[in-house]
Amino acid sequence: MRKKSSPVQTSSANSLWGGRFAGGPAEIMARINASIGFDQRLYAQDIAGSKAHCEMLIKQGIIGARDGAQILAGLDTILAEISAGKFNFSEALEDIHMNIEARLAELIGPAAGRLHTARSRNDQVAVDFRLWVRDATDALETALKDLQHELLQRAGQHAATIMPGFTHLQSAQPVTFGHHLMAYVEMFGRDRARLRDARVRMNESPLGAAALAGTSFPIDREMTAKALRFARPMRNSLDAVSDRDFALEFLGACAIAATHLSRLAEEIVLWSSAQFGFIALTDEFSTGSSIMPQKRNPDAAELVRAKTGRVAGSFTALLMVMKGLPLTYSKDMQEDKEQVFDAADTMNLSIAAMTGMIRTMIIKEDAMLAAAGKGYSTATDLADWLVRELNIPFRQAHHITGETVKRAEAKGVSLEQLSLTDLQAVEPRITEAARHILSVQASVASRTSFGGAAPERVRSAIAAAKKELG
Catalytic center residues: 168, 289
Quote the CA–CA distance of 305 and 354 in Å, as a whole number.
10
Q: How far apart are CA 208 and CA 7, in angstroms?
A: 33
CA distance 136 to 42: 12
Burial class of residue 63 (count of CB atoms within 10 Å of its CB; 0-12, 13-18, 19+): buried
From the centroid of its chain, how far is CA 36?
26
On the CB side of 453, CA atoms within 13 Å amount to 20
- Angstrom distances, CA of residue 400 to CA of 388, 408, 446: 14, 13, 21
What is the distance between the alpha carbons of residues 168 and 191, in angstroms, rounded to a whole number? 25
Distance CA 211, CA 122 (A): 5
Q: How many CA atoms lie within 13 A of 177 on its CB side?
A: 27
The candidate with the shortest Cα–Cα distance to 179, out of 467, 369, 458, is: 458
Residue 101: C-alpha distances to residues 50, 64, 119 (Å): 10, 18, 13
Kindly report the number of other CB atoms within 10 A of residue 449's CB atom: 9
Secondary structure of residue 163 in the 3-state scheme: strand
φ, ψ for residue 9 (rounded to 5)? Answer: -95, 125
Rounded to 10 deg, the angle between the 245-271 and 177-202 helix axes is 170
